[in-house]
Amino acid sequence: MGNIYVSTGTVHHGVMEIGQVRMGRGVIPWPHREDYNRENPMFHIPNIKTLFMILHGIMDGAVDWAQGLELYNAARRLGKEVIFLSYPNEGHHLSNGTDQKDFQIRMKQYFHYYLMDHEAPEWMRRGVAYLEKLYDKAK
């Protein structure tokens, strides 16, 4: 609602009202709560019917990393099959070559497992604890 783009210092209002979301000029959250709830992905998690993967840069200046984590945790809590890949020092798009390679490898393994009946890699079977992540080494 009142989030600020860290990278520019501007508020999200424009995106919600006349930008990507296109709710309408002056459509503010308080008198239009139902409209905002309709656009909030958190309210639609129970309707998810397919597995999905979230990619998020921790330093994202457009979408706060905590929002991606919140979506992931809510989906897991509701029994959805979801993977959350997060990369420190990355913004809204991966720019570090090592991170790009890591993501490409993981995405390929993800699709090989779900679409081609390959064995799941270790990171998918057991997950990787936040404190154990080796961000500087693609595997």
Cα 84 from Cα 69, distance rounded (Å): 8
User: What is the structure's pLDDT at 90?
Assistant: 95
Q: What is the dihedral of CA 16, 68, 119, 129, to 10 degrees?
A: 170
**Structure tokens, 66:** 């905590």
The more confident residue out of 16 and 125 is: 125
Q: At 21, give phi and psi (nearest 5°).
A: -80, -30
Place of tokens 């993800």: 110
User: What is the structure's pLDDT at 7?
Assistant: 75
User: pTM here?
Assistant: 0.81
Beta strands in the chain (DSSP E): 52-57, 82-87
End-to-end Cα distance, the chain: 38
Banded model confidence at residue 135, pLDDT cuts 50, 70, 90: low
Q: How many CB atoms lie within 10 A of CB 25?
A: 8
* Domain residue ranges of the chain, discontinuous segments joined by +: 1-39, 47-132
